[in-house]
Amino acid sequence: MSSKCIRDTVNKVKSKYQESDPFRLAAAMHILVQKMPMGNSPTCCKGFCMTESRKTCIVINCDLPEIIQQIILIHEIGHTVLHQKSMQVKCFHDFELFDGVSQCEYEANCFAADYLLEDEDVLEKLNADMSFFQAASELQVPPELLDFKFRMMKRNGVQIVDSPITANSNFLKDIPTEGIIENY
């Protein structure tokens, strides 16, 4: 799926629901969100989504910091809007071992980054002479998510420098569960 298609989907969802908060967006989309304790070890399950009988349910690990829960939720919402057909067949995809180059995970990460971060906000931070990592901290996102936003912006014609990191599709699986933003 192209970055243009992902960005168009983000814009359609934003336009239709007029909602920036992932939890309120899920409610508006009639997606059931359940928070369940799944631990906070580095290898814990962060969340997953499934669809059955035309009902979508997203389960989020409530042991994670709230900001990470929001990122996981919008990532899973990305799966629901970008990968509707494959969710019918493969609903527990997030439990599988990630190969680091999963196209579906990559696309859901791009969706999450583009949905949560406005181009103008990113450019404002960078134009304020902040480092990439300072900008991520100010925007309250992991640097990996900002890297995905950089990729989306570059592919859509925005002239910005390269990100100093290259995040893998599985970055949410491996994200630290404590001190998330402060450590960057």
CATH of the domain at 148: 1.10.10.2910
Query: Mean pLDDT of all residues in the chain?
Result: 85
Q: From edge to edge, which strands make up the β-sheet containing 47-52?
A: 32-36, 55-61, 47-52
Q: Which residue has the higher pLDDT, 127 or 170?
A: 127
Identify whether the C-beta of residue 18 lies closer than 8 Å to the C-beta of residue 65.
no
- Res 165: pLDDT: 84
Q: What is the pLDDT of residues 146-168, one digit of tens each?
A: 999 999 999 888 887 778 788 87
Q: Which residue has the higher pLDDT, 179 or 133?
A: 133
DSSP state of 95: G
Q: Is the pLDDT reported for residue 144 higher than 80?
A: yes
Instruction: Look up residue 64 and give its amino acid.
Output: L
User: For residue 182, is it within any domain?
Assistant: no
Domain of 79?
3-173
Q: What is the pLDDT of residues 119-134, one digit of tens each?
A: 999 999 888 888 889 9
Q: Which residue has the higher pLDDT, 126 or 90?
A: 126
Q: Which residue has the higher pLDDT, 29 or 104?
A: 29
CB contact set of 135 (below 8 Å; sequence gap of 6+) = 122, 125, 126, 146
User: For residue 169, is it within any domain?
Assistant: yes
User: For residue 70, is it within any domain?
Assistant: yes
User: For residue 183, is it within any domain?
Assistant: no
